[in-house]
Amino acid sequence: MNPNRSRPRKKRSTGRPNQLPIWSRRRSLWALLLAGLGILGVRVAPASGARFSRVVLDPGHGGKDGGSKWYGVTEKDLTLDVAQRVQRLLQAKGMPTVLTRTSDVFVELDDRAIKANKYSDVVFVSIHFNAHRDRSIKGIETFYYPGSNDGKALASAIQKELGSRIRSTDRGVKPAKLKVLRLTKGTAALVECGFISNRWECQRCATTWFRQILAEEIAEGILNYR
């Protein structure tokens, strides 16, 4: 503060009920802003009506299990990058998140589910990239465990967002008896973000801008699941 500058006069009370002092209002506004940016290390409650309080993101494969590999692109690298991007986006919205792996390590499917099952009211989203012998096949699809209505609703919310901006074949939402979905107690879905066996789709998946779009749409789909 400039010592030569006179202090401003204090404003008189307006007498309005429930009016916070200006310093308190400013502090509250700053807290909300910093929390929204993910700067404060506090937990912000999810939007009213959400069915979950935490998201567990599962980057498929890792370590000795590279997943699919085509045209110099390895699935395990793509899945970790997209999962980390989704995590940052969700945390910026105040949603607590956990990754089943944070580096290039091998994690058993059972251990991925065990990590998710440590929490209650959890949403579990496993992220993968597809491949097929027929290199002409391309597109995005999302799976849920058969008979899980909540899983189907989550998968549908994610697939809907992915199909809104990404120009590719919408392969829809499908039931699948995948082990990681079966073992997870919370609401679970598995996203196949594209066929890297298709050269055109692989080239897109290899770019950071495309993986950012994937992450934004997956995050939006998760937040839209109610």
Closest CA to 95 of 27, 35, 146: 35
Query: Could you give the CA distance from residue 50 to residue 111 in angstroms, rounded to a whole number?
Result: 26
Q: Beta 187-195 vs 140-144: how paired, if at all?
A: antiparallel
Structure tokens at 31: 């807290």
* End-to-end C-alpha distance for the chain, whole angstroms: 49
Specify whether the CB–CB gap between 75 and 81 falls below 8 A.
Answer: no
Could you list the beta-strand ranges (E) of 87-169. Answer: 97-99, 122-130, 140-144
192 is catalytic: yes
Closest CA to 125 of 208, 54, 45, 29: 54
Structure tokens at 147: 């008979």
Please identify which of the residues 192, 201, 217, 220 carries the catalytic annotation. 192
Query: Could you give the CA distance from residue 101 to residue 116 in angstroms, rounded to a whole number?
Result: 12
Q: How much is the CA Rg of the chain, to the nearest whole Å?
A: 22
Which residues are identified as catalytic?
Answer: 192
